Structure 1
């Protein structure tokens, strides 16, 4: 794979399965996650009087694509803040890694429940095309909310395999940029990594795909930047999956 320019990609020949990230790839919930993280950390930094203030770049630099609690740890580390882990089900009111992570989840869930989520039309068409060609499909998401988002978007019946944050935690799989969750999805589909295409919008997710020996990694630029996705190991970068149809 090149980090300098997109390679030509014959997507369908030799591909047996497509492994999709969810937020930002199939649904615009990446923007909802970004908003929820902003509200979480703006509120927390204000509570403790710490700085510097939360900025736009913090999401992509420290949080995007990572398991929720890793995002909490990494953002806090960027501010020189260390908190106790707390129990996994710690109260959202508590100042712990798990407490803040659960607070973020509460904010995200509230936004989804009140506003819903509409999948990207181009992604829906791409899923239909892939399945019409007999390709297997799976979701690989760091979010523990993946099943709820799929239901809200009307996509739950499209995917028999979902490796989300909860499944990763239950199986002890490290999160992206480690390729373990993508490798697990390929295993569940019964497809070798060399015949799977990974589709991602996050730098950490592209890095996971590039590290896993997959046939190709398609980066979707929803804000991370084309150059950053190529540098992370994307085979090709598009603005929308419609471009590959």
Structure 2
């Protein structure tokens, strides 16, 4: 399935997203607050407090929220003086240090302009127009929403969605036609409050981290604006398009396990299926054909899912079982077993150099987990494994998330396994839709296989450059939400199928 972009307009924050002025704001706030806090015998203003209580908010609201946190009362006249003092320091630093637009932001603005995508800039600053003019980027925006306009219209600042909703209105767009791009927690919260098509967090070095932006509700977290062009629409927010594509057809669900049905954990032995998934997946499997396709051994993943009557494909599809005593495996993989055993011995002999390394022997594969290995050793480990495999004719290395898989050198992967299962399930082209959900590099083989005739959904909030998936979901918990929507909207339409057939 080929999806189009899930938005027709973009609303961008200014400081920290487009311009490198965030540090100027922080420095001005720090000087202002530190002077004030000394009068109360309190410690200095911190970067964390800036991110939590001030960043992205109108000036007065930021002052109030921070001082309430510190337990310091303030009069309206003092509030005004503090705001004026901060602005004086900021403007002085602005004239002294200057301001620049991030190079990736400028390239993204040009791409959107060339595509004819209308843009709006939103800022809690009263100096927005001055900054845009100084940077000569004001002409990129059809709409500018700043603190002065907000005061005139009596709009609430972030985390309220007022500024963003007004920007969408002035663009003649509905919220679900726009994406919001923000670098502050309050801005992410505002975007979610407005029910926009997508809320994207920008985590630049020295700014609010991706973890905080994700926890605040960002659909994706990027480190630069050009990554936005690679993102895929969230399938829950794009439910109407998904439902139209299904449009009365039968459906088969194929799901990865780690990172999709379970959270990623430091030790792969501890992975458990997200509890709310099991009951809904059990109910769905009564009327929709379901298969679990994992890099784990088949018996391992079947035990962790614990639902009878499903198809289970282990070792990336080399070993498949299902209802009616169905069993399929790639016999040629056995021919690589002696080389696999020798390779494992050699890796184990060097394992002490990589504290935290975990070697997991499977029926056909060997997984070398390095999630707990110091990052400074990753490249050395990669080089050593690649050099090792060169001496074996029947083995190859496959990359996953924080794992190297030693695999038989055969033309077989998860994509081939899905094709095989589609044959077994008698999926008629044009009448049945295959839906695959996965999070790893190894799942790309399925996404690419389904690109023209099925639906691929990638789980994660990171950059999706190069993915063949059509849609996205943020977390395994969102996978549960998606499965619940499948049950509510499609299971009554699906035919009851005999698991033993």
User: TM over 0.5, yes or no?
Assistant: yes
- Corresponding residue for residue 52 of structure 2: 61
The aligned residue for residue 9 of structure 2 is: 17
Matched-pair contact (CA < 8 Å) for 1:62–1:74: yes
Q: Structure 1 residues 163, 14: CA separation in 2 closer, same or farther (over 3 Å shift)?
A: same
37, 41, 44: which one pairs with 1:50?
Answer: 41
How far the C-alpha of 1:57 sits from its partner, in A, is 1.4
Distance 1:19 1:11, change over 3 A: farther
- Structure 1 segments unaligned to the other structure (5+ residues): 1-9, 87-95
RMSD, aligned CA? 1.5
Give structure 1 regions of 4+ aligned residues with deviation exceeding 6 angstroms. Answer: none
Please tell me whether the aligned partners of residues 52 and 79 of structure 1 are also in contact (alpha carbons under 8 angstroms): no
Ranges in structure 2 where 5+ consecutive residues have no aligned partner: 230-501
Is the radius of gyration larger for structure 1 or structure 2?
Answer: 2
1:97 to 69, 79, 82: 79
1:154 aligns with 2:132: no
- Mapped partners of 2:44, 2:18: distance in 1: 31
Between the two structures, name the one with larger relative contact order (CA 8 Å, sep ≥ 6): 1
Tell me the residue number matched to 1:7. Answer: none
Which residues in structure 2 correspond to 1:133-144 (within 5 Å)? Answer: 133-144=115-126
CA distance in 2 between counterparts of 1:76 and 1:148 reads 29
1:192 to 174, 187, 195: 174
Q: 1:120 to 1:150 in 2, by over 3 A?
A: same
Q: Is the 8 A contact 1:116 1:152 kept in 2?
A: no
Aligned counterparts of 1:49 and 1:32: Cα–Cα separation in 2: 25
1:172 aligns with 2:154: yes
Report which stretch shifted further, 73-82 or 16-25: 73-82
Matched position secondary structure for 2:76 = coil
- Residue 11 of structure 1, CA deviation: 10
Q: Deviations over 1:182-207 (max 9, x none)?
A: 00000001011111010000000011
- Note the alpha carbon deviations across 1:12-38, whole angstroms, 9 max, x for none: 613111000000000011111011101
Q: Which has the higher strand share?
A: 2
Once residues 16 and 201 of structure 1 are traced to their aligned partners in structure 2, the CA distance between those partners, rounded to angstroms, is 21
Q: Would you say the 8 A contact 1:72–1:97 is kept in 2? A: yes
Q: Distance in 2 between matches of 1:151 and 1:11?
A: 37
Aligned pair count reads 226
Distance 1:136 1:150 in 2: 17
CA distance in 1, matches of 2:71, 2:6: 47
Partners of 2:143 and 2:44 lie apart in 1 by 39
Deviations 1:59-85 (A, max 9, x none): 112111111111111121122111111
Q: Distance in 1 between matches of 2:4 and 2:214?
A: 21
TM-score w.r.t. length of structure 1? 0.88
In 2: Cα distance, 1:55 partner to 1:190 partner: 40
CA distance in 1, matches of 2:41, 2:135: 37
The answer to whether residue 231 in structure 2 is matched with residue 231 in structure 1 is no
Give a deviation string over 1:124-147, Cα, whole Å, max 9, x none: 110111111111001111111111
Contact conserved, 1:18 with 1:136, CA < 8 A, in 2? yes
Q: In the TM superposition, what is the alpha-carbon distance from 1:42 to its structure 2 partner?
A: 1.3
Quick check: 1:117 aligned with 2:134? no
SS of match in other structure, 1:75: helix
TM-score calculated relative to the size of structure 2:
0.44
Q: Spell out the pairing of 1:21-32 with structure 2 (5 A cutoff).
A: 21-32=13-24
Match of 1:130 among 112, 118, 136: 112
The structure 2 residue matched to 1:80, chosen from 65, 68, 71, is 71
